[in-house]
Structure 1
Amino acid sequence: MQISVGGQWRMETPWPEEADDALADIADQRVREVRLAAADLGPWDTSLLVFLVQIVTAARSRKVPVHADLPDGLARLLQLAFAVPPQEGAARKDATTSFLSNLGESVLKLPPKLADFLSFLGEITLAVWHLFLGRAKMRSQDFVAAMYESGVQALPIISVTSLLFGLILAFVGAVQLTQFGAQIYVAGLVGIGMLRVMGAVMVGVVMSGRVGAAYAALIGTMQVNEEVDALSTLGISPVDFLVLPRVLALTLMVPLLTLYADLMGVLGGYLVGTLMLDLNPLEYLNATTRMVPFHHVIIGLVYGTVFGVIIAVAGCYQGMRCGRSAQAVGLATTTAVVHAIVGIIVATAVITVICNVLGV
């Protein structure tokens, strides 16, 4: 079988119809050899080389000998195309794994991740113990700066979100209570809802996105810049120097912010009760003190303390385990926020069940 190429071959123009016929004819079992020639060949580019490579590849797949009588430049390019054989397994494969395979792989990755997280918690525990013994490498100015960042600077956003959430709780309760002339019970609904759990949850969610992400981004960037490695080289524990002040600051400030959020939420309910439901201001305050026992405040502080630990540990852990690229810092920041919020939800469920079992 002889294949003669000629005329003009350009990338912007389609192949001649005879080219596809020639490729199809090579599959004929009667073809015993292939001869390539060029007749009246005009301007050409790599499209001609691609066609010839396909011809030779199809012929070699059938172990049919190929004889080429082509111009020198085209012959050298064709010879160069087959100078190095393709490496086995080098081609990219679009392999798809089943759902069960992905699930099994994820389950197998859990034990090492859990062991690493428990090791990190152990390091934090040892750092706290060293702090009590006076041997921690934590600087007081870092602790104060972390308190300022997670406390004072968070007051505006906590004020707005808690006030609006108190308004929402009051409006939702008023929709049903006004039908029975029981508007005064809006005070108890808002007070118990905010002081017992919702104030702490609102603070936890806001602080997860604001402070937890900042911790992960800051420590992750230090990992990229090899500053954490430099601390280890100098004999300074990164957990003592970077993690401990942030964990202590957030554990202390989140309960205080929870108290502030409770007050702002009650204020939001107060505004709805006095301005929208025409309740007497003193009557609303008196109903709040009667319907909301003090132990709800203690429970809210327990929620806030646990949430502070979860947010700080999630942010610092993702920062300390961050990769060495800008993309890794972004991933660590996002993961820290997600893990902190999920941890808050799980902790809320666990503490709520415990409180119901204990009857408090």
Structure 2
Amino acid sequence: MAESDGVLTLTFSGTWRIDRPSPDLSPIRAALGKSPAPKTLAFESAKVTDWDSRFLTQCRAILALAKAHGVTPDLSGLPAGAKSLLELAEKVPERQGAARKEASTPFLTRVADMAFGAWQGVHNLLDFVGDVTLACLALAGGRAVFQRSNLFALIYQAGVEALPIVSLISLLVGLILAFVGAIQLSQFGAQIYVSTIVGIAMVRVMGAIMTGIIMAGRTGAAYAAELGTMQVNEEIDALRTFGFSPTQFLVLPRMIALVLMMPLLCIYADIMGILGGFIVGVFMLKINPIQYLTHTWQSVPLANFWIGLVHSTVFGVLVAMAGCYRGMRCGRSALAVGQATTAAVVTSILAIIIATAIITVACNIIGV
């Protein structure tokens, strides 16, 4: 940096790339602000070997300082490309409001936005539940419109294709319950009561809960992804255009399939869980197989079986509605489909836990 006859000349040299640190502009600011101030700001860049946007950024900052102090810039000493870009930047001023500004939202505004979002979510949910109710009434009256062949495919998908994972998880849960119970009961010589623990736990609630969680992660997520993709591809809009109800055509068969299959899968999960306890009781605790099965049959009341079926039916409704609701409310992007799928699983599991608590309290009140 040198000054002569009212001309302040800045000399650039070396490499000016974005990976290099920015120089301090304090000496330039001091030179432009002194009295008397230079009349012209010139540049010398013959020794610059390489440059990119970092060089332009520094030049723009220096030109801004010169403009603030009323100094006239002379760009003739800059590289031709940099000179053209800087002149173009001066000719096209920055649009007001184009720059991103980090503004702090007031606390009450954030609370109001959260409350409005929650209310909007409740409104959308009630609207969806109303559409599903009307679709069920249309089904009861024989007026629901959907593809029967699609219904059978959904039943197969939600039922037969889910058997392997339900078998594995239920068998392992039965093994775990029996093993944990055996550790405690063996201290009192009451190993036979392992069959009671496993039988009541699986038949009353665990079979239904494990099946519901499996179906939430498997089928509920699939429903959300399928309907979300249809929303992105505007297939749901096409159904509305042709006069079809998307709730009847898409949501209703999925709900029917899951509600029909959940009790059957729950019974199957109960059997696999009892089988897991049977394996531990016979091969680890050396209990007679006939004695184990007989004690299980005698110690598990039939009311527990019906309670488990009620659980599974409710879970089927909740998982199907959560998956379909998130899919129908999906945005129109690939990211929105992923978010809808994740939200469907989380909503389904949360609904299963809440429903389990409500049904348990209700059964306790009525003494079942």
CA distance in 2 between counterparts of 1:229 and 1:302 reads: 36
Q: CA RMSD in A?
A: 2.5
Q: Does 1:124 align with 2:132?
A: yes
SS state at 1:37 partner? strand
Contact 2:32–2:38 at 8 Å: present in 1 too? no
Q: Does 1:172 align with 2:180?
A: yes
- Cα deviation for residue 149 of structure 1 reads 0.7
Q: Which residue of 1 aligns with 2:355?
A: 347
SS state at 2:146 partner? coil
Contact 1:217–1:329 at 8 Å: present in 2 too? yes
Q: Which residue of 2 aligns with 1:52?
A: 59
Q: Does 1:326 align with 2:331?
A: no
CA distance in 1 between counterparts of 2:83 and 2:113 reads: 50
Range that drifts further, 77-86 or 297-306: 77-86
Contact 1:35–1:69 at 8 Å: present in 2 too? no
- Cα deviation for residue 287 of structure 1 reads 1.3
CA distance in 2 between counterparts of 1:16 and 1:330 reads: 41
SS state at 1:184 partner? helix
Query: In the TM superposition, what whole-angstrom CA distance separates every residue of 1:66-108 from its partner, at most 9, and x where no partner exists?
Result: 2437348465544333223323332223445588765553232
CA distance in 1 between counterparts of 2:151 and 2:344 reads: 21
Q: Which residue of 1 aligns with 2:204?
A: 196
Q: Does 1:2 align with 2:4?
A: no
With over 3 angstroms needed to count, the CA separation of the structure-2 counterparts of 1:287 and 1:97, relative to structure 1, is farther
With over 3 angstroms needed to count, the CA separation of the structure-2 counterparts of 1:39 and 1:135, relative to structure 1, is closer
With over 3 angstroms needed to count, the CA separation of the structure-2 counterparts of 1:179 and 1:145, relative to structure 1, is same
SS state at 1:153 partner? helix
Contact 2:228–2:327 at 8 Å: present in 1 too? yes
SS state at 2:10 partner? strand
CA distance in 2 between counterparts of 1:185 and 1:227 reads: 56
With over 3 angstroms needed to count, the CA separation of the structure-2 counterparts of 1:77 and 1:267, relative to structure 1, is closer
CA distance in 1 between counterparts of 2:20 and 2:345 reads: 54
Q: Which residue of 2 aligns with 1:66?
A: 72
Q: Which residue of 2 aligns with 1:293?
A: 301
- Cα deviation for residue 316 of structure 1 reads 0.8
Contact 1:9–1:15 at 8 Å: present in 2 too? no
With over 3 angstroms needed to count, the CA separation of the structure-2 counterparts of 1:145 and 1:21, relative to structure 1, is closer
CA distance in 1 between counterparts of 2:45 and 2:31 reads: 23
Query: In the TM superposition, what whole-angstrom CA distance separates every residue of 1:225-269 from its partner, at most 9, and x where no partner exists?
Result: 111111111111111111101101101110111011011111111
Q: Does 1:37 align with 2:45?
A: no
Q: Which residue of 2 aligns with 1:206?
A: 214
Identical columns (%)? 48
Q: Which residue of 2 aligns with 1:81?
A: 89
CA distance in 1 between counterparts of 2:147 and 2:330 reads: 23
Kindly provide the amino acid, as one letter, of the partner of residue 162 in structure 2: A
Aligned pair partner of 1:263 in 264, 271, 288: 271
SS state at 1:10 partner? strand
SS state at 2:210 partner? helix
With over 3 angstroms needed to count, the CA separation of the structure-2 counterparts of 1:30 and 1:134, relative to structure 1, is same
- Cα deviation for residue 30 of structure 1 reads 3.3
SS state at 1:82 partner? helix
- Cα deviation for residue 201 of structure 1 reads 0.3
With over 3 angstroms needed to count, the CA separation of the structure-2 counterparts of 1:96 and 1:282, relative to structure 1, is farther
Kindly provide the amino acid, as one letter, of the partner of residue 65 in structure 1: V
- Cα deviation for residue 49 of structure 1 reads 4.3
TM-score by length of 1: 0.91
CA distance in 1 between counterparts of 2:22 and 2:189 reads: 87
Range that drifts further, 5-14 or 276-285: 5-14
Q: How many residues align?
A: 358
Contact 1:5–1:41 at 8 Å: present in 2 too? no
SS state at 1:352 partner? helix
Q: Does 1:307 align with 2:315?
A: yes
Kindly provide the amino acid, as one letter, of the partner of residue 62 in structure 2: I
Range that drifts further, 47-56 or 208-217: 47-56
Range that drifts further, 206-215 or 66-75: 66-75
Range that drifts further, 343-352 or 105-114: 105-114
Q: Which ranges in structure 2 are unaligned for 5 or more consecutive residues? A: 1-5
SS state at 2:91 partner? coil
Q: Which ranges in structure 1 are unaligned for 5 or more consecutive residues? A: none
